[in-house]
Amino acid sequence: MLLLLIAGTAFCATFAGGLLALRLKDKLHLVLGFSAGAVIGVAFFDLLPEALEVGQRYDTPSTLLTWACGGFLFYLILDRAILYYGQAAQHEGHEGHAHSRNAHHSAIGAASLSAHSFLDGIAVGLAYQTSPTIGAIVTIGVLTHDFSDGINTMNLVLKGGGNRRQALRWLLIDALAPGAGIVSTMFFTLPERFFGTALAVFYGFFLYIGASDFIPESHHAHPKFLTTTMTLLGTALIYAAMMLARQ
């Protein structure tokens, strides 16, 4: 029941991000700046310590950090694929067959973001198999990321030449993807032996998302002081929450 509730919340977060992208086109940098700090805070103050603590019974710290690096690099490859198709859609011409190619690239980029969201859902489901506490923390990070994914999906389709109806259709697909990922984890159980490994991989995911996705996006063509302040505030909030939780 809880996982289904989270799936519904993820749907709402993604859809809200997409709709907000239509309304607050030049104010999103503050939200994204805060999100960057929150996601990085989750990575450093919760996922990494938990990965080392849970996984020490089966793996060395070096092995767990290798898995963390693998998670980081996996997300890098996925992100570069999305970036490639997104840039192709934006930089090609806007007339004739070029417009058709733009729409094609936008669709591929939006589909990649949806696959990305499906993976987020799997992360939530597996985190709850580890422990309710880890599940709750990963859920917070994923919901933040889903909000950003909704923004990016809407912007990608519209900037690639798609119309509002097409953008909303892809936004709906992206909003349903996290729930599908969560539901998929109800049909298999992660062995305890791999809990630490999974947390290390999630750490790599979140570190990349915060440092290479949210921070550059929040700082793009905007005053750096306010966005940096929001990023520091997001990180400080997660740090304070983790310290209180461990007392």
Q: Rounded to the nearest 10 degrees, what angle do helices 132-159 and 164-184 cross at?
A: 160
Could you read off the pLDDT of 12-38 as tens digits, one per residue? 988 888 887 767 666 667 777 777 888
Could you read off the pLDDT of 137-186 as tens digits, one per residue? 888 878 877 887 787 777 667 766 667 788 888 899 999 999 999 999 98
Residues 6+ apart with CB under 8 A from 117: 10, 14, 146, 149, 174, 175, 177, 178, 181
User: Does an H or E element contain 218, and which?
Assistant: helix 215-219
In this predicted structure, the answer to whether residue 93 has a pLDDT above a threshold of 80 is no
Distance, CA of 108 to CA of 101 (rounded, Å): 11
45 touches 242 (CB < 8 A):
yes
Residues 6+ apart with CB under 8 A from 124: 3, 6, 10, 135, 138, 139, 142, 178, 181, 182, 185
Question: Both tokens of residue 61?
Answer: 């710290």
- Is the pTM above the cut of 0.75? no
From the centroid of its chain, how far is CA 114?
11
User: Does an H or E element contain 232, and which?
Assistant: helix 224-245
